[in-house]
Structure 1
Amino acid sequence: HPTVKRELEAKANGGGNIADLGGYFSEMKYFINCLENNEEPGQASAQSARDSLEIVLSEMKSADSGKIIEIE
């Protein structure tokens, strides 16, 4: 496999905002780590993807309504 010649690191002070680091920073870092350690990347289950979607949709609903949205 190819050798990664430089460390992947955040160049910006994100202040908690991942958008400042780039939307795929964590994914790229994880993938490069898998390459460097000859590990198979994990795969999200359908249930995990569904749960993530439920969280995002609830966040959007909360932001639009200004109300707390409960997730079970």
Structure 2
Amino acid sequence: MLVITRREAEEIVIGDPKDPIGVVRIASIKGDRVRVALEFPRDVPVHRREVAQDIVDRGDRQEAGDTDIAGRIG
């Protein structure tokens, strides 16, 4: 894991600097809250960790359900 220190309004470029995949910018810092702006193409999924985990969990349950149904049919 790479840990980078940034101040408000500073950016991190993801990918090739000449043609980046995206840019992460520190939008604001207020107390213990940091607002992060993410600039990525629309076809690149970007999720908060808890949302990403929910998506994975739902997918795992659906796959398990599909397997159970296939087992009952076959």
Length-normalised TM-score, structure 1: 0.34
* More strand as a share of residues: 2
TM-score, reference length from structure 2? 0.33
- Normalized per residue, which structure has more helix? 1
